[in-house]
Structure 1
């Protein structure tokens, strides 16, 4: 029994082409069809039918077989050659049975025998109309999903842009900030020399105290415009790195001393002439700055800061630090640590320690494994943290050895207990093919994946993201979860992190440890947590060292916590 109400609903927007050479039959059938279809176009033979088909789109074609000029088979063959999905119903007499095989081979599904039974035709029309309606609904559904995906991508892109602006742009002056400086200097390491001028606005706190913070902010904005004009004129990168400090940066293949002397004198004269008029007090004040300058190879900001302190201590307008002064001392330290690392490798003294990670109720749910060098001094064990030797191990080409020893010991330990433990992998580890293959095999063979988390450092420069993604996919196939470590420490590439879609994000400890006194760290951390909460990615806070910081982070809806407030790294668990 055909549901006529549904049939009319299905056919309310359908167009039908009816091809029949018998005008009496054509008239009767068209009247029947018009009961259901809003548009019924008539044709007297296959040729007219084909012409009508080419002039308009039809959801259904109903055609006789035997007709003058062109029969229904030839017409159907031509139409299906252009659109194999076109719905066609063939009306056939008993003596047309010889054509049925040809029609079936063409892909025509529906046949009605003459004389036409309206009940049978109605059933066929219902099936065709129902299929048309389902196709229409599927199309609407896919268009809706497509629209939602576009809106979601747009929303994510807008949120990423907002967070990028918060992270890498100073809201007061509109200049790039310290995070942007760190990213740019890391990306320019192929250049040999760095010229860096660190400018500190003198007595800004005095201006704030005397005239108010609003005036102090206006002074910074006005001063930043002066420095920006200079930077654009002489092609320096400019950053507002902290409240009263600015950085002018140039990274070059060689240092043209005469050029920088001229430009430095120009900058000093412009600062000397700079004044600011305070409208509220109808007063003009002079604003000066002290400059620390670094010319050299490494640690430009650190060395410029040392020069700045030297200038302030000696009541100078500026001071210059040359990194070549420290070369001998650095080389001696590097040689000593190379020997210590070699000794630790030979005597199996690269060891893991385990720091607990807790949930919101302070229950230990897993551990992060951390590398240490074990030294024996006066029969006492001393654990040396990697901030003493990790960078040197990279420079002395020993890192891959100590990393492998550390990770293999963690895998050995996992075989003896039921803990969940995270290991740290750098991009250098991932590019070590032989090590990675052995790691995959051990995880698979020993069935450790469901208790293992791989932390990938976010601030490390990644040259080949395809290789990184391939490695992550391999880990996931073994049941291993992925965490992005130190998020917020460098230039965060949100699109690439969204592609990876890690299970965890670990916020950089430098943001967490001062969150109770640093408003910028507070705002930035809150924004990061909100962003990844909306994506369903768990957020872990490291460096939680006090109850006050823990309470602040609890309000941010952070999922897990790690730090000395809960436990120091443990030799045994």
Structure 2
């Protein structure tokens, strides 16, 4: 700065008055953000002032740092509740899963799993009986009006039965089972009161018109089975009511109270008749196999089939597994049914270009000599690469060591393994993870799929299981896909395969299914 032309006002713009005077009056001056000195250039005197260029930037940086600190602090305050929420999310998902397991997916009532757990504690049912209400014509209603209408009927039936709770103080609770049965927990006071209630319930429900749509309505056909009111402390209330119901259905009795005096003589007569049908079916080669298609959601083609067993009785009537399988398992005939299924299904699929599955229970797997027999038949018919062995999750996961030994042998042969009905019971996810190297497919239980397109809890649970399967490299199959809406929804969730009446009903000849 030339001293002859210095403009003090300019100097004062950049410095305080005190600093400006010090700069002009001293050969060397220094401040917080500058330093000045006199110099002579070409006989001209100048003041050289070096001033910090980034002072304002430093202030800006400090302001930014303060702002960032405030943002981080506020974010920390906000994120604490989120962190707590996500930390608790697995527990919430598990609770939702457990809640789903004890709730009937159609009626929304507590299901048989919940009732059975309650019955384990006798005090919860002190002075109470179980009344089972069975809808006899459910299958006919389903075949005529379809699953959607049947679901509507079951919901309405549950609502109608529940309405009696408002006017009868002895009506304690209601439960809903998968096989068209409602269970009532009823406080027993005297015989007359019980007769009055059950007759009123029976007559009302059979005479109420249930609307399906504007043009259709139906009536229910019912049978009631009641546990023994003379032994209110029994832990077998549900079993007693079931035996009474079975006997009432067989003898075409509307309402029946369990009587221990007829147990051995009459109630077992139905079981004996079915057992005879099983023996006849085995002896006369009347074990019949049907096959239900499994559809690849991505390729939109049928690629697999599940083998389903039926038997024909002496009257040429077809019996389905729900009517004979439990009885077969309690007898020595069960394994013979399994052997017949293996022989017939292997022979049928040996020259076909489809994967096919057979269902095996833990009873099959632990039977002495069964694994060797199965090995022999697989090699005889050359079906190892086509065969999928389905193991029911609710029966088998708890028997981890036996299952692991069996499926390891089957995998060495080249077979595939599926876990069936996954989600129907309190599955041990750790066992699934441990067995994941052997498992090729997991089939979602129908109770999770049937209404998944409008049931958010089912969507959540299936989504969690699907994520687990994807992580473990396991493909997924949705059962009970009964309409286009459900098919589109499971496809949108990324489920690999679909099975159900919308794809195809079970058939005796797969060539009859349109591809």
TM-score, scaled relative to structure 2: 0.53
Match of 1:553 in 2: 490
Structure with higher RCO (Cα < 8 A, 6+ apart): 2
- Per-residue CA deviation, residues 489-530 of structure 1 (Å, 9 max, x unaligned), is 111111111111121111111222233555543443333333
In structure 2, C-alpha distance between the alignment counterparts of 1:373 and 1:171, rounded to whole Å: 31
For residue 337 of structure 1, the aligned residue among 251, 274, 279 is 274
RMSD over equivalenced CA pairs, Å:
4.5
SS where residue 571 of structure 1 aligns? coil
Is residue 2:96 matched to residue 1:166? yes
**Pair 1:345–1:465, CA change in 2 (3 A):** same
Gaps of 5+ in 1: 1-156, 201-237, 250-256, 262-291, 308-319
For residue 433 of structure 1, the aligned residue among 354, 357, 368 is 368
Pairwise CA distance, 1:433: 2.2
Pairwise CA distance, 1:331: 1.2
Match of 1:356 in 2: 293
In structure 2, C-alpha distance between the alignment counterparts of 1:402 and 1:554, rounded to whole Å: 35
Match of 2:311 in 1: 373
Pairwise CA distance, 1:358: 0.5
In structure 2, C-alpha distance between the alignment counterparts of 1:366 and 1:170, rounded to whole Å: 29
**Pair 1:325–1:345, CA change in 2 (3 A):** same
Paired positions, count: 319
Pick which of 160-169 and 480-489 moved more: 160-169
For residue 390 of structure 1, the aligned residue among 325, 338, 358 is 325
For residue 344 of structure 2, the aligned residue among 400, 409, 414 is 409
The answer to whether the Cα contact below 8 Å between 1:196 and 1:247 also exists between their aligned partners in 2 is no
**Pair 1:397–1:403, CA change in 2 (3 A):** same
Q: How does 1:100-499 map to 2 (within 5 A)?
A: 163-169=93-99, 178=111, 181=114, 184=117, 296=234, 300=238, 303=241, 322=258, 324=260, 327=263, 330-360=267-297, 361-375=299-313, 382-460=317-395, 464-499=399-434
In structure 2, C-alpha distance between the alignment counterparts of 1:449 and 1:563, rounded to whole Å: 25
- Per-residue CA deviation, residues 373-412 of structure 1 (Å, 9 max, x unaligned), is 13575xxx75432112111111233211111111121122
In structure 2, C-alpha distance between the alignment counterparts of 1:549 and 1:325, rounded to whole Å: 49
Pairwise CA distance, 1:475: 0.5
Pairwise CA distance, 1:546: 1.3
Pairwise CA distance, 1:423: 0.6
The answer to whether the Cα contact below 8 Å between 1:196 and 1:248 also exists between their aligned partners in 2 is no
- Per-residue CA deviation, residues 244-271 of structure 1 (Å, 9 max, x unaligned), is x99999xxxxxxx9xx99xxxxxxxxxx
In structure 2, C-alpha distance between the alignment counterparts of 1:171 and 1:430, rounded to whole Å: 27
Q: How does 1:19-168 map to 2 (within 5 A)?
A: 163-168=93-98
- Per-residue CA deviation, residues 277-332 of structure 1 (Å, 9 max, x unaligned), is xxxxxxxxxxxxxxx9875565729949x99xxxxxxxxxxxx9657498465312
**Pair 1:347–1:161, CA change in 2 (3 A):** farther
In structure 2, C-alpha distance between the alignment counterparts of 1:194 and 1:457, rounded to whole Å: 31
Gaps of 5+ in 2: 1-86, 104-108, 132-171, 177-181, 190-225, 246-255, 511-515
TM-score, scaled relative to structure 1: 0.48
